[in-house]
Structure 1
């Protein structure tokens, strides 16, 4: 036994277990810094020399590879504190204080528990009793220095990283489409198919204005998108998979694609449970943002424009995130209508008239959130007609210039997609040829390897054949949709924008996109009439005043020509006969249904028309019984006459 000059080790300590805590901060240190680990395990001999038996020594080493900055994820340290609190430990051993904790709160909590349960602490420098003030003071200083050491090391590392980042020289993983050159400068991906895929992606978003629409366009064209594998045996390889919405958003939000270097875009926070949370910061709070640091696929101005579109399209809660992209519904002003009373954005509700959806613009935000009455509701049919007329009047002088570029844009877009398909087929052809060469080089007698390579070759051939057939099918489909007749129709419609706008074949989504090219928003106020304040993109405003919508009775009122026709036919025909005659002439009710006998009766009563019975009376006609009575014969005789 080692001589204990101060007599700190008592028999009560030796009756308890000795706990040895072993820790390394990272798995790399565990694998490479083996000498430090061996020195920590060697403390078992110190415990034996101090009087503990081999069976009493408990080694806690399940925190190897865990940082000592926090006790939240260190199950071994938590178990050690629990054993100390239960007075099961006579001594706690660690090579140095930093092995036990690099956090003053965790360290002093352990010291407090050791002092309460009369537990000793041993490190490489000596033996301490936390119940003694001098030893506890020294241990507290060691814990503070251990935490300060971690802070200094972290500050040095972060300072070096930040200094490199400010020069734009900090190396990190690059997104697909970029790679480092021999001089460690960022270069565009040399694979032309990857470059063209990214350019088509950003051009498609510029055209559609929506990440969802971009994903749909890639799916409809049958295009795949590149993705670099970041882990596993295929690390670094480029694989081609269908484009998904989450990846499209990630690409659009990444400033690397506009040639910018950035650092410090997120802030790291620790919650009370020790978990790490990351919070995205606004641009002005980023640590480093260096535009034009390397070549990109889009300009910085286009990147900023894309961020604005994504912000408008976002549908999460918040005053600044209410606008949404144009959708399939027929409401022309969907997403850009503001309430003139409360300033909230108005929603859309549809009702059906004659198998046609008609929108109503409703301000019901407060009604949803606070159960208050609806602020205002405005019929959209007449309003949209007036807005459409305003747009036609505004845009007609510009349509001819736009029309001249439509055909070229369609050709260019088709050529880009065709180029991507050709590169994809060429890549599959190369992979099939490579598989063939590998198969031809194998020993024919080695059937296990030969069969595997033959199956791989056949799979590559099938993939190449399917891609080639898909490309030919797409070519035939484009030839059908881009023939001379279609080109002539495009030019004819472009010269006549009113006909293009009113063409029933024009999808509602495209009509709304055309409106958003000119309109910023429309503010509606319902009073004696309907006032629409239209704000254009350039800031110009124009006010439209519409008469109040007619009541439902006026909307359901029968046309005057139908009433006049019923009045004329009542002289000679019954209600059922009149309904049949008018239906044969193509007339129908205000709701679009066929005229029936009850409809004719309702028109007669509602408009005060003279019934057919009274008309016949006025002409001096008698009923069958009246004629028989005046002539003094039976009704059967009158019928036979």
Structure 2
């Protein structure tokens, strides 16, 4: 930096920014020499003439790459200061410290040239407004970007070349360790670790669902090993679904070496900012796939079968390509054909439903067709007769395999218990090893060093407690273990096993067991319903491609034996033109009426009753006119009073109303005469009801009685402090006073 002639007085009046950056946190931690050299640029700025108070150091980008794939707040701050013409010079150790991509670098050069800002590095001071300096800065930026590309290409090429030979050492899943030779992968020497992994694959082969394997591990309290780091000890914790699924989906467990399963991409979000994402690639796009690379827990054909099985367990999206072939995982519902039944009319997969108090299963097609302007299902059928027919065909097909299936079931029960107990025995061995190690460490320490001895003694005691807990749990499980079958009991079991129908209908056989057994032989069932002949035609597609036909008779629909009584129907016909369904339901309930099934009425039941008997619904009335019949609420809104006021006048008999039936809402005929009785200001001779009681010397009951008989004239004042009922007490008929005491 010897070109002091480019520094003008205007530059010295602005700030001098020293920009610091290193590509990674490890460089910041380990490569301190580069960091110190960049901070030393502050002294160089003072030598060039900038005072200390106008020297700004921007170092918040330490540990961030300058390739442009990450957001650098320090560089953004630098760019904004340059754009505002607040910077006289920008100092950096080299161009690559400012930016390693041409987009950011040329944007900074453009802004610096427009705002007369200098750029300085270890080679000199440049003025971006000058052509030669601008050209040199552009070449330096291009070379910096090329350097990054070359370095990355060299590293990636070496990595890919080593991965293509299966020798690139990367993180291994739990259950494997690296050997001493290049690319050598060995099964973990800890028998407890390998036993858990083998148990997961064995359980999946039996249960067919990653979730059910996870639940089995949780039910038997089998711990799962976790690796926190390459050089750290394993940690045993409660099994998680993610851990079980990762074991089943990882091809390394099938003896394959894999590299490049994912692709890192940079995309623009809705704000235009760059974001990184990881996209999983299909198998045919993996960069490296070496089968039989090392000894696995399963072979490659078994791995492919497991992947296909997990794919079918995933619920497909509607109308997707997989929806036609994926049956989904077996669930707890009683519908035997859940997931494998398809509509014989449109080909869609049937959905299940349950109705009635006993939750009888049924099947319906989710695809609707338009009939008379309304959408209806193209298939909707009860599943009791269908399931019984398919179960009978399944049991008939199993006739030759009954004995073999019973023997395998008994052996499987015994092996399951043995697998669970083996894991607990290994836990006891692991706890015993921890005790022995803690004891050796305690005995090796100097007894006088009590600070260390107390800690080792505490670890020894904790290990002893863990060993005792493991032994207690093993003893409890050994005691709860059912005893093995004797030869006589096995022979009796085989005799009973011949009757597979009894086993199928046994209370201990769950609906999930039924469906799992059914799927071992039946691939798909297609239902076609013929309502005219009251039958369902079933096409069974067996494993291997064979098909079979079944015809199931359906119960014919019978006329309803119960119906709503005629009095209730007549009342509904009278109320429907005037009131909505909810109001009609309230009237019927207040009169103690019930539906044909003995239920209380609600809006839905009244609506269904109307539609069944073609009773028209209440329609909204136009704006009221003189003499129209209104509800209490509507009349109160027109007269300017509260609905409770009209209810009180109806109870006192001061105004007249009507009900279609007892319990129905009151209605009022709004006439001009009635409107004239609700005033804002009363005429002369009217007094409030309290004053009228004193003037006339009557009780309230006697006064209201004479108003009802028309002997006294009354109006209702709707505003003011003395609003309410007013009585006319002056110029009354003389006969009125003859009744006074």
CA contact (8 A) 1:71 1:106 kept: no
1:547 aligns with 553
2:7 aligns with 9
Q: Secondary structure in 1 aligned to 2:462?
A: helix
Indicate yes or no: 2:79 matched with 1:75. Answer: no
Structure-2 change in CA distance of 1:140 and 1:531 (3 Å): farther
Once the two structures are superposed, the pairs formed by residues 352-363 of structure 1 within 5 Å of their partners are 352-353=356-357, 356-363=358-365
Q: Distance in 1 between matches of 2:379 and 2:550?
A: 18
Once the two structures are superposed, the pairs formed by residues 205-604 of structure 1 within 5 Å of their partners are 205-230=204-229, 235-272=231-268, 273-315=273-315, 317=317, 319=320, 320=322, 323-353=327-357, 356-364=358-366, 372-444=375-447, 446-479=449-482, 487=490, 490-528=493-531, 529-551=535-557, 553=559
CA contact (8 A) 2:2 2:125 kept: no
Bigger CA radius of gyration: 2
Structure-2 change in CA distance of 1:140 and 1:3 (3 Å): closer
2:668 aligns with none
Q: Secondary structure in 2 aligned to 1:61?
A: strand
Larger displacement relative to structure 2 (30-39 or 466-475) = 30-39
Question: Alpha-carbon deviation of 1:311?
Answer: 0.9
CA contact (8 A) 2:342 2:527 kept: yes
Structure-2 change in CA distance of 1:278 and 1:489 (3 Å): farther
Larger displacement relative to structure 2 (386-395 or 535-544) = 535-544
2:164 aligns with 166
2:111 aligns with 113
Question: Alpha-carbon deviation of 1:86?
Answer: 1.9
Q: For 1:287-329, what per-residue CA distance to the aligned partner results, in whole angstroms no more than 9, with x for missing partners?
A: 1111100010011111111111111112363622653211221
Q: Secondary structure in 2 aligned to 1:479?
A: coil
Which protein is richer in helix relative to its size?
Answer: 1
Structure-2 change in CA distance of 1:154 and 1:372 (3 Å): farther
CA contact (8 A) 1:194 1:226 kept: yes
Question: Alpha-carbon deviation of 1:50?
Answer: 2.6
CA contact (8 A) 2:330 2:516 kept: yes
Q: Secondary structure in 1 aligned to 2:74?
A: helix
Equivalenced residues, count: 547
Q: Secondary structure in 2 aligned to 1:62?
A: strand
Q: Secondary structure in 2 aligned to 1:23?
A: strand
* Structure 2 residue ranges without an equivalent (≥5): 563-596, 598-741
Q: Distance in 1 between matches of 2:460 and 2:311?
A: 47
2:121 aligns with 123
1:613 aligns with none
Larger displacement relative to structure 2 (276-285 or 527-536) = 527-536
Q: Which of residues 122, 130, 152 is equivalent to 2:150? A: 152
Q: Secondary structure in 2 aligned to 1:22?
A: strand
1:578 aligns with none
CA contact (8 A) 2:64 2:70 kept: no
Larger displacement relative to structure 2 (463-472 or 429-438) = 429-438
Q: Distance in 1 between matches of 2:387 and 2:30?
A: 73
Structure-2 change in CA distance of 1:366 and 1:89 (3 Å): farther
- If asked which structure has higher relative contact order (CA below 8 Å, sep 6+), I would say 1
Q: Distance in 2 between matches of 1:145 and 1:555?
A: 92
Structure-2 change in CA distance of 1:451 and 1:553 (3 Å): farther
CA contact (8 A) 1:71 1:77 kept: no
CA contact (8 A) 2:223 2:237 kept: yes
Q: Distance in 2 between matches of 1:108 and 1:3?
A: 22
Indicate yes or no: 2:127 matched with 1:97. Answer: no
Q: Distance in 1 between matches of 2:471 and 2:176?
A: 28
Q: Secondary structure in 2 aligned to 1:513?
A: helix
Q: Distance in 2 between matches of 1:156 and 1:549?
A: 76
